[in-house]
Amino acid sequence: MSEQNLFAEFMKQMAFDRAEYLVEGKVEDLSDFMKKMIESASSIIKENVVGEIKVLGGSIKKKEDKFNEFIKKVENEAENEKYKNIKKNIKEYIKLVKELVEKYCVAVIPVKELPWENVIFMTVPIFLHDKKIQLLNNSIAYCGDIKCVVSKTTIYSKMKGGTPLFAPYIGELELNSTVSNESFKNPLSEDFTCINAIIESLESPSVKNQLAKYHEGYQRHGEPICDFLMKDEELMRVMDKLTSGLESKRVNTEFAACAIALPNVSNGSTLMVVTDESNGSGSEKFLNCFEALLKFSAACCEAPSTSKEGKNEGMSTPGGQQLATWTQEDLARDAQQRGGAVTPPGMAVWTEEELTKAASERSTGLPPGMEYWTEKDLEELAKKRQGGALDIPEWKPEPNMLECANCGYALRKGWDECPICGTPAGTNISSKPSAEKESDIVSSSASENDEEKDESPENTPPEQ
């Protein structure tokens, strides 16, 4: 394992919680760095500020016992054999942890006529291990709770060599050990430990993997809320002003997430977090970050499938009985808990091809063996019947049956003569009589009819 990865594992094992060293006070009691950051963060929205701003700053002096306890924990862990190659880095880390606390501050700003009741501003000091360990203190974040629940955890990310994107995140975020899932039951913006963990999770492998999958596998399309946000040109323009880890050269990855909308169904809200890593402390840096939070929050309130005012009633029967519902995150979590359980022995299993075949066989809806006609068959039959004439096939004699050579009557096998005209079977006589014979036959039959008529009682003259 490289020294960089080993040191990252060491810091994860230590799970340092900077929020434990926050102390509430007044702006004038803060260090010059904290004072400058909070004044810059609040001045850009001073017209919307109502009430007193709550200020918190990291303090080693007022939390000395807790800090000394943590340092002792670090030194004991450093004695582990697997960390022998990074002991120099650990000593530097101990020095920088103190600086990190002194550069960490939070401001809770009550506002009016905005999507949130309070805007949370905080500095986000970051450890960087390249050739040596450094502490970067140029990153800031704005966050707040909007009073609606978005349909999906949504992440905004910059992309190396490509345009930024909004993408869904399925499942639970990879939060560090300082945070438990129970933290999500409270307004998230009031839990600074949770916010720090969420910001750190934006650089987790699972986030980067899902961003890559949505970009490549789904062609950045398919999740309604993400499609809606991507079509908002004004929102995309504002979000593009943010400086992510890619632009600041802090990371060298394909994706660098710098904003997230995290639904909190338990209290009907959504935590909105936006970060910026641009250098300097000018007003433009704070303005860009706050404007991105404002536009992102407003767009999420208008996004499709968003539950307004925290109402998440689910499904119910006509009688009012509530039915259980599961979100995609619930299903993903259940799948992880099952750990890919196999099918029980003896249970029938069907492949996708078998299911497709069975579905096609059921498509007619008719019992097996019953004749049916396709639309094409019916169209051909209709064409044949145009004009009112039926398409009746011409009668043809059976191939093994003889015909009378004289009258054409069909003769069965074994007959010696035609039962109609008495012509012997097999006689070669023209099937049609000549015109002369035909006339003789007609005249003879007419005379016979006349004789019969004359001899009838009705035509016999009475006796004199």
CA-to-CA distance for 185 and 74, rounded, in angstroms? 31
- Are the beta carbons of 265 and 284 closer than 8 angstroms? no
Label residue 311 by pLDDT band (50, 70, 90): very low
Average pLDDT over residues 38-64: 93
Pairing of strands 140-146, 162-169: unpaired
174: nearest Cα among 378, 336, 317, 305:
336
Question: pLDDT band at 40, cuts 50/70/90?
Answer: very high
Q: Is the pLDDT of residue 151 over 60?
A: yes
Higher pLDDT, 224 or 432: 224
Please tell me the distance from the alpha carbon of residue 138 to that of residue 142, in angstroms, as a whole number: 14
* Structure confidence by residue, pLDDT tens digits, 161-194: 999 999 999 988 988 777 766 666 677 888 899 9
pLDDT of residue 1: 72
pLDDT band for 314, please (50, 70, 90 cuts): low
In this structure, what token pair is assigned to residue 46? 């001073």
pLDDT value for 432: 44
In single-letter form, the type of residue at position 302 comes to E
The sign of the dihedral angle between the CA atoms of 344, 345, 351, 357 is negative
With a cut of 70, say whether residue 160 has pLDDT above it.
Answer: yes
| Candidate from 129-138, 167-176, 363-372, 375-384 with smallest mean pLDDT | 363-372
pLDDT band for 152, please (50, 70, 90 cuts). very high
Q: Residues 136-148: what's their mean pLDDT?
A: 94
Mean pLDDT of 88-111: 93
Q: Residue 93: phi, psi to the nearest 5?
A: -60, -40
The mean per-residue pLDDT over the stretch 100-110 comes to 95
Place of tokens 């009589």: 433
Q: How many whole angstroms separate alpha carbon 6 and alpha carbon 10?
A: 6
229: nearest Cα among 305, 171, 290, 175: 305
* 361-380 average pLDDT score: 73
Among 42-56, 184-198, 329-343, 433-447, the range with the most confident prediction by mean pLDDT is: 42-56
Tell me the per-residue pLDDT of 9-30, one tens digit each, with 9 for 90 and over.
888 888 899 999 999 998 888 9
Mean pLDDT for 133-141 is 92
Q: Which amino acid is at 265?
A: V
Give the model's pLDDT for residue 442.
46
How many C-beta neighbours within 10 Å does residue 179 have? 21
User: What pLDDT, in 10s, does the model give residues 213-271?
Assistant: 999 999 999 999 999 999 999 999 999 999 999 999 998 899 999 999 999 988 889 99
**Structure-block tokens of residue 177:** 């050990």
The winner for highest mean pLDDT among 20-24, 338-342, 379-383, 424-428 is 20-24
Whether the predicted model's global pTM rises above the 0.85 cut: no
Tell me the one-letter amino acid at 448. Answer: E
Locate 372 and state its tokens.
């049916």
Q: Report whether pLDDT(317) > 60.
A: no
For residue 69, CA distances in Å to 61, 80, 89, 171, 252 come to 13, 18, 20, 35, 35
Q: Tell me, what's the pLDDT at 325? A: 65
Are the CB atoms for 139 and 74 separated by under 8 Å? no
Task: Mention every residue, 6+ apart, whose C-beta is less than 8 A from residue 179.
Answer: 193, 194, 197
Confidence of residue 437 (pLDDT cuts 50, 70, 90): very low
Mean pLDDT of the chain: 82
pLDDT (tens digit per residue) in 381-424:
887 776 555 555 666 666 667 788 888 888 877 788 888 888 88
pLDDT average, residue stretch 126-135: 85
